[in-house]
Amino acid sequence: MHRVNRRDFLRAGGAVAGMTTLTRGVLGAKRGANDTIRAAVIGVYGQGKKHINELSRLDGVDVVALCDVDKSILHQRADALETQAGRKVARYGDLRALLDDKSIDVVTIATPNHWHTLAGIWAMQAGKDAYVEKPLSHNIWEGRQLVKAARRYKRMCQHGTQGRTAPAIQEAVQKLREGVIGDVYMARGICYKWRPSIVNDPRRLEPAPGEKVPAQLDWNLWQGPAQEREFSSNYVHYNWHWFWDYGNGDIGNQGVHEMDIARWGLGVGLPQKVQAMGGRFLFHDGKEVPNVLTTSFSYPQENKLLEFEVRPWIGNHESGFTSGNKNDLGVLFYGSEGYMAVRYFEYKTFLGQKREPGPSQQSTHHRFERFIAGVRSRKIEDLGVDVEEGHLTVSLCHLANAAYRMGRSLEFDADTEKFVGDADANQMLKRTYRTPFAVPETI
């Protein structure tokens, strides 16, 4: 069973309440030299750079190796880290060579989406704990395989959404459980992010027939599990997000963060029904994914509804937080006695017909502190977002994309993680992998 019931969430609430103790105890304890955790970062262009910086600030953690298929980026990051740390850093162009290094304890994975699951599984098969950036999978089937791998190899695996590690968001969810806005019946996730046309994106050159692969880039490794395509600078190193072979659109990019908060706050798992509509509005520039997507997830048994909307340009400040031309990102929870607005890393409540201000809080987050705490304690509950919870959240994003691509409402069986009586839709649950980069069928 993959649905999340009230008992599960009360148990989760206990983990939230224990965060202060965890921080003072496991995270705050002094460590000897023998307790130093040796970490490596795989994929160091964007989020990977943040991984390096945040891990390097933690006591008892040494970032000892970096890996990237682009040599220029790899050496740029490694040079900076060596200057900062005052020691040599191992450099790898192929993650398989890095994973063979038995001295490395943990890896963090910040590659493009299509590599996340396979890199995570290979890491855990190599005996390493893994932090896997969002979304932890490129499709629903491989996400479940990642969960199986974590349990099979008894490894700690944390998903890269930070909300659950933030005291403010933990308090928000606890308040929802306590009934601060009454009976909660709906959540609405908002992802309005300024996304310009990729034709005018300065991070890329205009693609041209026969475009040559840059000498510093291993294009074969970059593609990995995806089917082989001709190289285009339209993909490397960011705009791959907008092509189905590699990315999952903004609902599977920025939207994963808000989706996790929405699902957690509602207290639900996988839905029974999903419907989506959208398309490419404003910009028609070669993207394959929609830049406007409106999705509804139905939970008839729980009598709850989750809505999610992605837009690429100007929003209405509907989250209740933004002003000016900033992104509008957040989740609104609706209850019988008021509503709550939540974003990273803050919440506000508005109570009664007059919408009187209620409880609120701001904080930071502790994503890598929680990951390292779980690595040290070997307790899943000490992790920020366990791989199972990450899988359920990311699956909602995949379901939204599947409903959009199929052009119809879909019924889903949360126990089998398959669509009901729909062979065509079930083709969307898994991809065809490229040898030798296939996610294992059996774990």
pLDDT in tens, 86-129: 999 999 999 999 999 999 999 999 999 999 999 999 999 999 99
Decide the pairing of beta strands 338-343 and 328-335.
antiparallel
State the pLDDT confidence band at 197, using cuts at 50, 70 and 90: confident
DSSP secondary structure letter of residue 334 = E
DSSP secondary structure letter of residue 342 = E
59 pLDDT higher than 90: yes
Confidence (pLDDT) at 324? 62
Could you tell me what percentage of the chain is helix, strand and coil, using 3-state DSSP and rounding each to the nearest 5?
Answer: 35, 20, 40
Confidence (pLDDT) at 404? 97
Indicate the class that CATH gives domain 166-199+246-363+394-429. alpha beta
Query: H-type helices in 95-178, by residue range?
Result: 95-99, 113-125, 140-152, 167-178
The pLDDT tens digits of the residues spanning 322-377 come to 666 678 899 999 999 999 999 989 999 999 999 999 999 999 999 999 999 999 99
Residue 403: CB atoms within 10 A of its CB come to 26
CA dihedral in degrees (260, 266, 267, 272; nearest 10)?
A: -90
Distance of CA 388 to the CA centre of its chain: 12
DSSP secondary structure letter of residue 217 = B
7 pLDDT higher than 50: no
Task: Supply the DSSP string of 360-412, one letter for each residue.
Answer: EEE----HHHHHHHHHHH--GGGSSSBHHHHHHHHHHHHHHHHHHHHTS-EEE
Q: How far is CA 86 from CA 63, 82, 83, 94, 316, in A?
A: 12, 5, 5, 25, 48
∠ CA 210-215-216, nearest 5°, is 130
State the pLDDT confidence band at 2, using cuts at 50, 70 and 90: very low
3-state secondary structure of 330: strand
Common-topology check for domains 6-164+367-385 and 166-199+246-363+394-429: no
Rounded to two decimals, what is the model's pTM? 0.90
Residue with more model confidence, 368 or 318: 368
Confidence (pLDDT) at 67? 98
187 pLDDT higher than 60: yes
Using N-to-C axis directions, what is the helix angle for 387-406 and 140-152, rounded to 10°? 170
Confidence (pLDDT) at 15? 39
Span 67-72, average pLDDT: 98
Tokens of 59: 């006591």
DSSP secondary structure letter of residue 70 = B
Rounded to the nearest integer, the mean pLDDT of the chain is 90
State the pLDDT confidence band at 232, using cuts at 50, 70 and 90: confident
Amino acid identity for residue 178 in this structure: E
CA dihedral in degrees (251, 255, 259, 262; nearest 10)?
A: -130
The pLDDT tens digits of the residues spanning 382-400 come to 999 999 999 999 999 999 9
Please tell me the least confidently modeled range out of 142-156, 309-323, 360-374: 309-323
Using N-to-C axis directions, what is the helix angle for 47-56 and 71-85, rounded to 10°? 20
One of 3.40.50.720, 3.40.605.10, 1.10.10.60, 3.40.50.300 is the CATH number of 6-164+367-385, namely: 3.40.50.720
Peptide bond into 271 cis (omega under 30): no
Residue with more model confidence, 62 or 206: 62
Secondary structure E strands in 212-352 = 273-279, 292-299, 304-311, 328-335, 338-343, 346-351
- What percent of the chain shows pLDDT beyond 70? 88
Confidence (pLDDT) at 281? 86
Span 199-219, average pLDDT: 71
Cβ–Cβ < 8 Å for 308, 276: no
Decide the pairing of beta strands 106-109 and 418-419.
unpaired
3-state secondary structure of 418: strand
33 pLDDT higher than 60: no
Helix (H) or strand (E) holding 44: none
Q: Where are the domains of the chain?
A: 6-164+367-385, 166-199+246-363+394-429
State the pLDDT confidence band at 36, using cuts at 50, 70 and 90: very high
The pLDDT tens digits of the residues spanning 249-290 come to 999 999 999 999 999 999 999 999 999 999 988 776 668 899
Query: What is the Cα gyration radius of the chain?
Result: 21
Contacts within 8 Å (CB) and 24+ apart, 77-86:
77/44, 77/48, 77/49, 77/52, 81/52, 81/56, 84/56, 85/56
Span 223-243, average pLDDT: 92
